[in-house]
Copies of this chain bind each other. A is one copy, B any other.
Amino acid sequence: MFKKILIANRGEIAVRIIKACQEIGIRTVAVYSEVDRKSLHVQTADEAVCIGPAPAIESYLNMDRIIQAAHDKDAEAVHPGYGFLAENAEFARLCEREKIVFIGPNSRALKLAGDKVRSRQTIEKAGIPIIPGMKGFYKDISNYDDEARRIGYPVMIKASAGGGGKGMRIVSSAKELKPALEAGMREAKSAFGNESVYLEKYIEEPRHVEFQVLADNYGNIVHLFERECSIQRRHQKIVEETPSQALDPELRLKMGEIAKKVMQVTGYNNAGTVEFLLDKDKNFYFLEVNARLQVEHPVTELTTGVDLVHLQISIASGEKLPFTQDELEQKGHAIECRIYAEDPLNNFLPSSGKVLFFKEPRGPGVRHDCGIYSGCDVPIFYDPILAKLIVWAEDREKACQRMINALNDYVILGIKTTIDFLKDVINHPQFRQGETTTGFIKNNLDGWKGKEKSKEKQSLAALAAAFDSFNKTYTRTGTAAEKKEIYSPWLMLGKWRLGGG
């Protein structure tokens, strides 16, 4: 087993991986950009190395600096998290060359997964159903136009190098293609350092169902059942759950076996996800392999009882899978809500700034994977994900109730977040009935305005503010603190309190 691991990431996923390492006695090295000095992952790790300025391209995507940090700190392995370099085959190859273990698939499998066109060919050859799409890559934008006409509009633009909605665009007619391609390429470049995009037939109103797969270095492969991630906005997943309401045991078995076959024919090892689209008639199509730990991995952990990060590390260190397919089962229901720094009342614009106050939910069945704290800064440079709230309960309805309760208990002041929006997603009758497709948000919550605020609640807010001002005034004159046992911010200062006291 490794003695020290470098985590080439930031935010909640870096913290998640650092904690997993600490549990099994592995020292951790965080890397950080200049604006991230006070980030939680820097505080949580045993060691922390600054790798450059704020823009990701100069820090979290800077392979040489990261490799150098790993060497300097004697880290035997690098965990890339998700995003940034997680699916960068060149980085995986560089690690291999530098004798640093890359905690992820081998670079050949990673390259194949990243090359969406070639991987589609491999999958198709193996007899697995795929979505009609481009057969090759082109430099010239006019070739994309030809391909789009061949496939038939509407088509989807996707980044070759990664997922997460970055670079994705739906194009319904030829005249929209060029600007959409340009925007998609810029986003792909900015997110993954690679501007390659490709086209695929756009399937309307599908469900997004994916299978978590684990493969050790000795050809043993298991799947850990599905996750349904149909609730998306801008092709970005925002709510994920397992089990999917659309799968029966037979379909689950069939898709699970195919997911394993995908791993097999692509020579894959470590943790990966095989994504499918499931149409209304329960036909499913291979979409792509996500060659990394997914944002939504916790729902699988809560229902199967495995720790995917621990397993990634043990597989990378050369251990065999500790269980067979027969030993795995799903229990209960888990839902994840992604907490983004976005303003749902204002077209989901990113919301950077200072988190003035933060209180996280807790309680039975509630898990919170989190990268922020009261007083932290949310910089403009990186992904707007702040945290993930995951609940487990005996069944889906109880999980929904638990999620609503936890979201109500979740307070972030100072920046805008998606928390209130998420409550209305989970509370929506269509969601409660399990009628979830990728069009859910657009069909049901477009132009979301939030709940009406009653006169009574407005008064309460005014009352709280008045009380706050009242104590400010009293404390200024130095009487209130002595007079009554109020808990004013000034009292925190103890004997150094300034002013009249």
Contacts and interface: CB of A to CB of B under 8 A. Distances in A.
Contact of A402 (B16, B23, B489): B23
Given A472-B496, A498-B499, A364 B362 contact: no
A257 to B, nearest CB: 25
A401 B489 contact: no
A209 B394 CA distance: 26
Contact of A405 (B23, B301, B365): B23
Given A19-B405, A23-B402, A307-B364, A476 B492 contact: no
A364 B311 CA distance: 14
A230 B498 CA distance: 52
A447 interface: no
Contact of A368 (B19, B20, B362, B394): B362
A493 B356 CA distance: 11
Contacts of A331: 305, 331
A356 to B, nearest CB: 9
**Which of A331, A362, A364, A368 is packed against the most chain B CB atoms within 10 Å?**
A364
Stoichiometry, as copies per complex, reads 2
A179 interface: no
Given A362-B367, A375-B487, A492-B492, 5 more contacts: A19-B405, A23-B401, A23-B405, A362-B368, A499-B499
Which 8 A-B pairs have CB atoms at the shortest separation, nearest pair first?
A498-B499, A498-B498, A23-B401, A19-B363, A23-B405, A22-B405, A23-B402, A305-B332
15 contacts: A16-B363, A16-B364, A19-B363, A19-B405, A20-B364, A301-B364, A305-B332, A306-B394, A307-B365, A307-B393, A360-B362, A362-B368, A489-B493, A490-B493, A492-B492
Interface of A: 16, 19-20, 22-25, 298, 301, 305-307, 331-332, 360, 362-365, 367-370, 375, 393-394, 398, 401-402, 405, 472, 476, 487, 489-490, 492-493, 496, 498-499
